[in-house]
Amino acid sequence: MKKLSVCLLLFFVFSIITFARQQYRRPVKPTKNVIVMIPDGTSIGVVSAARWYQIYNNSGGEHLAIDPYMCGTVKTFSSNAPIGDSAPTTSCYMTGMPQRTGNVAIYPVADPANDLVPVDPDMAYQPLPTVLEAAKYQQNKATGLVVTVEFPHATPADCAAHYYARGKYEYIAPQMAYQNLDVMFGGGNSILTDDIRQYFKNTGTVLIQDDVEAFRSFNGKEKVWALFGERELPYDLDRDPETVPSLQEMTQKALDRLSQNENGFFLMVEGSKVDWSAHGNDAIGCISEYLAFDKAVATVMDFAGKNGETTVIVLPDHGNSGFTIGRRDLKSYDKATFDDLFKNVSKFRKTGEGLERILLKSKPERFKAIFKEYTDIDLTEDELNQLLSSKNYKEADYMKVSNSVNMASVIIKIMNSRTYFGFTTGGHTGEEVFLAAYHPDGDIPVGMNTNVEINRYLCAALGLKTPLPEMAKEIFVKHTDVFSGMDYTIDRSTAFPVLKVKKGNATLSIPAFKSVVYLNDQPVALSSVVVYIDKNDTFYLPKSLAGKL
């Protein structure tokens, strides 16, 4: 008897500790709606330059929309590397577990020599539920994703799919389609499959493709996907509003649709291509992409302020490019005027990629005039020759293809030579990133937060009853455990492996990467997706499936 009470006491204490360990460090009153906004790869220097640019061009006042909400920083990293990649960093925000580069909401493979956090080798490749999935599964909230890249790209995938390699769109895209998102706005028309289109038909999901009018006039209650472009959307500065909506417009449309759900909603909005501009060291690209994102922040904070039941956090996933205002060749940096630093960049009316698109279609003799028109730069003969000998300029005399770089990077080099913005790399950087937040009761995550703490904050703001690790034991259980002792085989004859389980006369067919199974060929909808990992030949699926047979 005495032994039993001691065990009970220990179990009780242990569950308190585990529960406490998953709590955020201060009380957070749950709200009906939770919105996460991610300016991908945005180092703080870009934010400062965007604000100065806005002031210099008198295009929005002294403050950015984000300014009143700045509240701390985030230490973001991968499980075995201080410098993060888009896939593992947002995956950690969504799941609470740091992961390795390329990982999409999946438990990392242990790297004992380098791991920065405890990693259990036995958990490798275990799909990890995300806060988006939990909002839907536990609270029947509406869910939405708004991005400016193809829909299965790293950050949106991190919220709604699971795989160890971010590039495997063929396994990630169906999961996102079968997640039954209420809203998916972004790019990636070339990635849609007939199976996904059929699933949308079966579920009454509205699919809008490259049709901005249909998008603008949509105000239905259906689930809706609106995709623009074969893959990513154009940069905001190069965007034609007649054919492609802005991030702000897509965000507003998402809020209009999701706020119809009586249980509330979870929304992730990504300013996806700040990161692309940073990788390209394109200063005007970084600035204009961040400003386009900041407009979406204004829309969201306006909604949250009026709505009164919405938590918002805004945070990059990692730094990029080492962007600075000021550079080694700016000797008299402390005497550099506002004009010295922002006059020229303010004349750039296209990103490097946008200007490249125009020049690639133009005759060499037009280059100087076109460059002048879009940047006010007078090209030198040497710069003109560099452009003409770019490897992707078809008109070029092939013998001149000396500098084998694309024209976009030549354009960006010329633009940067007329400014004093510095870049230390074309890759990600390891510094902490900014954090901004809004909560109707002021329960915001002040100070420096780790990526894991951000997840705890989101779980608290949603008011999740079942901690994510516990939820994994409900929806992502190994088929060998769920169907232990039963007769099951894996059919690999189709594009996606199918697990077949037999019991008596009944057969359950479970295709990978979807949320529909077939009991004696009759479709049965699941409230979570099934994940198959070839590395360990394992299906991860709801434990409740055993009860279907």
Q: Which helix (H) or strand (E) holds 487?
A: strand 487-491
Encoded amino acid at 363, one letter: K
Taking the CB of residue 297, how many other CB atoms lie within 10 A of it? 27
Rounded CA-CA distance 274/276 in Å is: 6
Instruction: Tokens for 154, please give them.
Output: 């790293």
Q: Which of 447, 319, 426, 437 is nearest to 44 (CA)?
A: 319
* C-beta closer to Zn ion: residue 106 or 498: 106
Q: Cα(540)–Cα(129) distance, rounded to whole angstroms?
A: 11
Question: Using CB under 5 A, which of the segments 32-40, 166-174, 280-288, 325-333 binds Zn ion?
Answer: 32-40
Smaller CB separation from Zn ion, 286 or 501: 286
Q: Does 40 bind Zn ion (CB under 5 A)?
A: yes
Of positions 86, 288, 390, 429, contacts Zn ion by CB under 5 A: 86
- Residue 97 or 315: which CB sits closer to Zn ion? 315
Minimum distance from residue 42 beta carbon to Zn ion (Å):
9
> Would you say 41 or 354 has its CB closer to Zn ion?
41
**Amino acid in the structure at residue 349:** R
| Chain centroid to CA 48 | 22
Applying CB under 5 A, the site for Zn ion has a residue count of 5
- Listed ranges 34-42, 200-208, 265-273, 500-508: which one lies at the site for Zn ion (CB under 5 A): 34-42
CB of 158 to Zn ion, least distance (A): 10
Q: CB neighbours of 28 closer than 8 A, spacing ≥ 6?
A: 311, 439, 443, 457, 460, 461
List CB contacts of 470: < 8 A, sequence separation 6 or more: none
Length of the chain: 549
DSSP string, 19-32: HHHTS-SS-----S
216-275 residues in contact with Zn ion (CB under 5 A) are: 275
Is the Cβ of residue 282 or residue 317 nearer to Zn ion in the bound state? Answer: 317
In angstroms, give the least distance from the CB of 275 to Zn ion.
Answer: 5
How many Cα atoms sit within 13 Å of 505 on the Cβ side? Answer: 0
CB-nearer residue toward Zn ion: 175 or 277:
277
Q: Which of residues 388-427 bind Zn ion (CB under 5 A)?
A: none
- Contact, 428 vs 90, CB < 8 A? no
CA distances from 544 to 179, 232, 476, 548 (A): 18, 38, 10, 7
Q: Which stretch binds Zn ion (CB under 5 A): 35-43, 394-402, 479-487, 519-527?
A: 35-43
**Smallest distance, Å, CB 155 to Zn ion?**
7
Nearer to Zn ion, 157 or 330 (CB): 157
Residue with Cβ nearer Zn ion (165 or 358):
165
Phi, psi at 172, each rounded to 5°: -85, -45
The distance of closest approach from Cβ of residue 86 to Zn ion in the complex, given in angstroms and rounded to an integer, is 3
Token pair 């008596």 is found at 504
Residue closer to Zn ion, measured from CB, 83 or 255: 83
3-state SS of 201-227 is HHHCCEEEECCHHHHHHCCCCCCEEEE
CA atoms within 13 A on the CB side of 156: 31
- Among 182, 249, 317, 453, the residue binding Zn ion under the rule CB under 5 A is 317
Contact window for Zn ion (CB under 5 A) among 83-91, 401-409, 437-445, 479-487 = 83-91
428-467 binders of Zn ion (CB under 5 A) = none
Q: Which of 108, 102, 76 is nearest to 89 (CA)?
A: 76
Q: Specify the residue, 174 or 271, whose C-beta has the smaller distance to Zn ion.
A: 271
Q: Which of 327, 185, 211, 195 has its CA nearest to residue 270?
A: 185
Distance of closest approach, residue 324 Cβ to Zn ion, in angstroms: 19
Give Cβ neighbours of residue 215 (< 8 Å, ≥ 6 apart): 185, 208, 226, 245, 253
Among 38-46, 182-190, 374-382, 486-494, the segment contacting Zn ion (CB under 5 A): 38-46
Please state the closest distance from residue 317 (CB atom) to Zn ion, in A: 4
Residue type for 350, please? K
Q: Which is nearer to Zn ion, 131 or 147 (by Cβ)?
A: 147
- The separation between the first and the last C-alpha atoms of the chain, rounded to the nearest angstrom, is 40
| Stretch of residues binding Zn ion (CB under 5 A), selected from 79-87, 115-123, 248-256, 325-333 | 79-87
Rounded to a whole number of angstroms, the minimum distance from the CB of residue 45 to Zn ion is 16
Contact stretch for Zn ion (CB under 5 A) within 39-47, 246-254, 266-274, 459-467: 39-47
Q: Please answer whether residues 225 and 260 qualify as being in contact, where contact means their C-beta atoms are separated by less than 8 angstroms.
A: no
Q: In the bound complex, which residue of the shown chain has the CB atom lying closest to Zn ion? A: 86
Site for Zn ion in 277-296 (CB under 5 A): none
Cβ distance to Zn ion smaller for residue 41 or 152? 41
Selected range binding Zn ion among 78-86, 141-149, 335-343, 510-518, rule: CB under 5 A: 78-86
The encoded tokens of residue 109 equal 């493979």
CB of 289 to Zn ion, least distance (A): 12
**Residue 424 CB, nearest approach to Zn ion (Å):** 17
Binding region for Zn ion (CB under 5 A): 40-41, 86, 275, 317
